[in-house]
Structure 1
């Protein structure tokens, strides 16, 4: 029997009181007391993360004009597609689609909708947590390498392991709304280190920025593959859609003031912060270092040592929170299936064991393949474009059925077509980047 059918059967077999009791325990639907500004910092935490540090590298792969255009166009398109998801959250009167795949299942049917959304949403969330393990470990190692040079011999693997240990503790947070303190701190850190990257890139750039700018590769195949990878890197930077419905689910809703009102207010603030951070870091980083910029711009910065160390520690604090924002929907899915399909009793012990196993598994994967730039491109194209560009448009066209050639019809198709192109080519560039990086890599180094 298929997973979607099994889930529906399990839901039907439970009495309304049992189902409501489960919803009150699950991390996504347990609390609906969030304020509008919670959605701001949840969205900032989800977006201004590892992706922003890779944007100067993406410009080095695409060049000035194509790179900046790609960032701006992606911002516009994903701003629109996020609006679509917000509007669809309660488009059926009296019903809330608390989870992305619930919306897909309602609009496109139990099988088609479930399998269109669920696997890709899960890939985005799992991939994000893997990348954040790598980012957290690399940033913490850089922090100690700068302040305590005697520790440079300590392997990056051990720093990732330490990051995983802290995540095991944080993963016991009962529900999404209880993450507000962690997420707000993470959002603040993301803004701070973005500004540090911007200011310090400008300072170093005034001293010795390149006399000319091109792209990293000097061969046609290299340029093509790099461009593919850069498209995925930019797509990765706009990954917040995979948790948008779950964030909105934490907001209260009434007939007079549906959840889309505070959610949209929060997103307006978040997306303003996003574009400021993205363009400032991307442009200053590429301007300062040209094609020599690393796939994590903070790694490229050299002075002043104390400020670079602090910025890397800010990244570490940020990814502690962003890991949890992306992991919480995964925990929700795991716990739903453990209770509904395997008849486990909702308990703290169930959370402790299931969530700890998940964190350990993604941490192990991060230790085995810590290729930051390649991971951004590969995962960005593989699933991030789908959840942020393609699926919202597909759901809107089927749910709202806009007139052909109307604004929303055209905008939805533009998102779908451009998203499909990136989804096809970006993983190719990402795989090549990983393969090239792997030639000089030793396992658990």
Structure 2
């Protein structure tokens, strides 16, 4: 629930900023629409309304397969366009790759390495949805759902790697240490925005926004299901349509409020990765497997799961400590309620 909600908040922040950038690209200063710019809160609200309207059309995870496919296509599209255009435009002059000695030695260097692990963990989020999706697949003794789910996971993470690794490699090659915290797209706009067609850049932002809209449906659906299950369990009857709509509006309102209240949430990605992503990836599944399957104590599988789970706990604690250390060292511009 908390990772799904946090992902939806991040999507609101990302998409709201992208929609604002798209508006600024299309409506140049001095034009009639250029004088009608909206605030960050209003862009967040527009995206949330669009996402919630679409959410009312799909009752469960099984019904959003086409939405998921659309999101995958647009994600591959905008990721490929960013790194391909970065290569075609070439590196700006005086690109620096050197890391200051103070940032790669001592506790600061150790903290930066652990922070990188936290960001990577959060970038490969989605594992909290695997069992939710598997629960919608047909399953029997001859064709268990875990086999088709395993194939789906392998293909999905291959596609994610195909999107993220070129972005990371090409981004560092093209911009080096000039990449801002906002990411490679901001760096590309900064260095090549003047010599690139605004329609090309606008297409990247459109695909990014569509990807965020579709991702919101996927990450929000487990929260919708859990809230509807709580209602059905307490009332001992099925959840009627108006209650389902109200639950989704309530969830959307909560995520919108958090996005407006904490628009700097992206800067807390390593901390969130240590608190949420690592336990869900390494800790919970291992101890759940031991609890459910009850393997022979001190056997091979028992020892393997106990070891991986314990390493996950240590890694989670180290990531949290490193993230807090970096926040204390670098500071945080906590622009509460000022997106």
What TM bracket, shorter-length normalisation? 0.7 to 0.9
Aligned: 1:317 with 2:201: no
Partner of 1:187: 72
2:94 & 2:68 partners in 1: Cα distance?
36
Q: Could you tell me whether the CA contact under 8 Å between 1:185 and 1:318 is conserved in 2?
A: yes
Tell me the CA shift for residue 352 of structure 1: 0.9
Please point out which of 143, 155, 170 is paired with 2:22.
143
Aligned: 1:438 with 2:333: yes
Partner of 1:385: 278
Tell me the CA shift for residue 359 of structure 1: 0.5
Q: Deviations over 1:334-372 (max 9, x none)?
A: 111112125565211001111101101111111121225
Determine helix, strand or coil for the equivalent of 2:331.
helix
Aligned: 1:297 with 2:181: no
Q: Show the 5 A alignment for 1:197-216.
A: 197-208=82-93, 210-214=95-99
Check 1:160–1:254 CA distance in 2 against 1; reply closer, same or farther (3 A cut): same
Check 1:275–1:193 CA distance in 2 against 1; reply closer, same or farther (3 A cut): same
Tell me the CA shift for residue 382 of structure 1: 0.9
Deviates more, 1:424-433 or 1:361-370: 424-433
Deviates more, 1:316-325 or 1:267-276: 267-276
Partner of 2:8: 129
1:442 & 1:334 partners in 2: Cα distance?
28
Tell me the CA shift for residue 300 of structure 1: 1.6
Q: Deviations over 1:19-69 (max 9, x none)?
A: xxxxxxxxxxxxxxxxxxxxxxxxxxxxxxxxxxxxxxxxxxxxxxxxxxx
Tell me the CA shift for residue 299 of structure 1: 1.6
Partner of 1:412: 305
Determine helix, strand or coil for the equivalent of 1:370.
coil
Check 1:123–1:313 CA distance in 2 against 1; reply closer, same or farther (3 A cut): same
Structure 1 stretches of 5 or more lacking a match?
Answer: 1-121
Determine helix, strand or coil for the equivalent of 2:169.
helix
Please point out which of 253, 256, 263 is paired with 1:363.
256
Check 1:298–1:254 CA distance in 2 against 1; reply closer, same or farther (3 A cut): same
When the two structures are superposed, what TM-score results if normalisation uses the length of structure 1? 0.66
Partner of 1:274: 160
Q: Show the 5 A alignment for 1:210-225.
A: 210-214=95-99, 218=103, 222-225=108-111
Determine helix, strand or coil for the equivalent of 1:251.
coil
Tell me the CA shift for residue 328 of structure 1: 0.7
Please point out which of 147, 158, 181 is paired with 2:42.
158
1:317 & 1:140 partners in 2: Cα distance?
10
Partner of 2:242: 349
When the two structures are superposed, what TM-score results if normalisation uses the length of structure 2? 0.84
Aligned: 1:240 with 2:240: no
Partner of 1:59: none
Q: Deviations over 1:123-149 (max 9, x none)?
A: 111111111111111121122222223
Determine helix, strand or coil for the equivalent of 1:438.
coil
1:217 & 1:344 partners in 2: Cα distance?
61
Q: Could you tell me whether the CA contact under 8 Å between 1:225 and 1:429 is conserved in 2?
A: yes
Determine helix, strand or coil for the equivalent of 1:149.
coil
Please point out which of 298, 304, 308 is paired with 2:201.
308
Q: Could you tell me whether the CA contact under 8 Å between 2:95 and 2:178 is conserved in 1?
A: no
Q: Could you tell me whether the CA contact under 8 Å between 1:125 and 1:330 is conserved in 2?
A: yes
Q: Could you tell me whether the CA contact under 8 Å between 1:205 and 1:287 is conserved in 2?
A: no
Please point out which of 292, 295, 306 is paired with 1:401.
295
Please give the root-mean-square deviation of Cα atoms over the aligned residues, in Å.
2.7
Check 1:365–1:348 CA distance in 2 against 1; reply closer, same or farther (3 A cut): same
Q: Show the 5 A alignment for 1:98-137.
A: 122-137=1-16
1:132 & 1:216 partners in 2: Cα distance?
35
The count of corresponding residues between Structure 1 and Structure 2 is 322
Q: Deviations over 1:210-263 (max 9, x none)?
A: 243326974855545444432221111222111101101111112221112221
